[in-house]
Amino acid sequence: MFIFLVSGGILLVQATQSKIEAHPQEKVCVSMTVDKSAQQQETREVDAQALTRLYEQFRRPIHSYTYRLLGSQEDADDITQEVFIRAFTAWDGLYERDRLSSWLYRIATNLCVDLLRRRKRVSWWPLSPRLRRTDATADDQVPDDLASFLADSGGIPEVAEREMIRMVLSAMPVDYSTVLILSAAQGLTYQEIAGIVGISPNAAATRITRAKKMFAVHYQNISKDGVGAQE
């Protein structure tokens, strides 16, 4: 039995281990439970080992990405689970996909954006007029604190600084926070990000530059003036 994710629901893939070991290249019949009540089961012909590799390779980066975008461990658990449910459900079509990682990130992005928009993204405080101007003067490099936070390096000693970063990211328009996290935290290229969010590589590069400036301006403002400062 392979247990892919149980937090917030159930996602089980059951298979006969001896059969997999005896026929590692063959598809095996697995039972997939994909509903939270665990009442409905669907039997599909899939490569159980490939499903295991898919989950083991991408679970952590997908969860890290969704957590940074949503700011909630529970929401990240739920979205990550849904990403792999959809991937497993559409498994037959995955063999033809050249960039599986981009496809998974696209699913995760769409799910996160839908969730944020349903909630209308009520921020703790509004963006200042200066921050909304994407041509505002600021260093377009990702601040060291942001890079450390996004990279899971543990390089930020102060909890208050981590909280400020979360607040700035959550207050930014989702189109900008998404590409900033994909670039700074996940290390994806302009081409990959373009495919995920559905824009051209040039547009992705421009949006990332604006997102860096947007973050830097507001982070500098609240660092100097306090979290509740407004212009």
pTM over 0.85? The answer is no
- Domain end point (choices 60, 93, 118): 118
pLDDT tens for the chain, 231 residues: list them: 344 443 333 344 443 334 334 444 444 334 444 444 443 444 444 566 777 888 888 999 999 999 888 888 999 999 999 999 888 877 665 554 557 888 899 999 999 988 888 875 544 334 444 444 444 444 555 555 555 555 454 444 466 667 777 778 878 888 999 999 898 878 888 999 998 999 999 999 999 999 988 888 877 777 665 544 443
d(CA 210, CA 204): 10
- Domain end point (choices 83, 118, 153): 118
Q: Is residue 124 part of a domain?
A: no
158 and 95 fall within a common domain: no
Q: Is residue 230 part of a domain?
A: no
174 and 151 fall within a common domain: yes
Q: Is residue 138 part of a domain?
A: yes
Q: Is residue 217 part of a domain?
A: yes
d(CA 147, CA 66): 16
For residue 33, the SS3 value is strand
Domain encompassing residue 48? 2-118
Counts of helices then strands in the chain (DSSP H, E)? 11, 4
77 and 44 fall within a common domain: yes
In the prediction, which pLDDT does 218 show?
79
Instruction: Say which residues have a Cβ less than 8 Å from residue 37's Cβ, sequence separation at least 6.
Output: none
Q: Is residue 123 part of a domain?
A: no
In Å, how far are 7, 41, 71, 150, 168 from 12, measured between CA atoms?
Answer: 12, 10, 26, 30, 37
| Number of domain units in the chain | 2
109 and 210 fall within a common domain: no
141 and 188 fall within a common domain: yes
106 and 161 fall within a common domain: no
40 and 95 fall within a common domain: yes
- Burial bucket for residue 173 (CB in 10 Å: 0-12, 13-18, 19+): middle
In the prediction, which pLDDT does 191 show?
92
Instruction: Say which residues have a Cβ less than 8 Å from residue 85's Cβ, sequence separation at least 6.
Output: 11, 34
User: 84-94 burial string, b = 16+ CB within 10 Å, else e?
Assistant: bbbbbeebeeb
- Burial bucket for residue 9 (CB in 10 Å: 0-12, 13-18, 19+): middle
Q: Is residue 231 part of a domain?
A: no
In the prediction, which pLDDT does 148 show?
56
In the prediction, which pLDDT does 20 show?
37
In the prediction, which pLDDT does 224 show?
66
23 and 103 fall within a common domain: yes
56 and 157 fall within a common domain: no
- Quick check: 33 and 1 in contact, CB under 8 A? no
CATH number of domain containing 161: 1.10.10.10
CATH number of domain containing 24: 1.10.1740
